[in-house]
Amino acid sequence: MAGGVAAVGGAALSAALQFEDADAKIQASLGVTKDRAKELGEVAEEVWKNGWGESIDEVANSIVTVSKNLRDLPKEELQKATEYAQILSEAMGVDVAESTRSVKQLMSTFGMTAQESFDFITKGFQEGLDFSGEFLDSINEYSPQFKAVGMDATDMFTLFKQGADSG
């Protein structure tokens, strides 16, 4: 029994050290205060505890990327955005940096929330809009043009879908 207790204690210590390392990595990468890094580290811990990411280090990297691309999100929204980015990464093979750049484009161009943007992108992947491997690039490049002619994100994705369907 003592061996089991020692193993659990060792695992807990190891996890605590990984979380401290994540906080330090976040602080160094983003140049934020120690308090903000701790807050972001707590977000990383929650994302990891919710089953996303292979390691706390991977999740910390995602937090850094999401924070850089989707600045000033409140803690709860940052957690959700990081989880959505992890879902796209794991399910669709999409790089977190790429997906969050496209989310930022949809947010800034069409006034969407991060969740709405991730929902549109996820649905686009599900509907085969990445058939050429350029779906996210198309969002980034064409969103301003669609907005300039008075169209919204729904219109843009509808046209992307029609184009995908017609080859």
Higher pLDDT, 116 or 53: 116
For the stretch 26-37, pLDDT in tens is 999 999 999 999
Higher pLDDT, 143 or 10: 143
For the stretch 71-92, pLDDT in tens is 889 999 999 999 999 999 999 9
User: 13 pLDDT exceeds 50?
Assistant: no
Give Dmax (Cα) for the chain.
70
Count of residues making up the chain: 167
Q: Which amino acid is at 101?
A: R
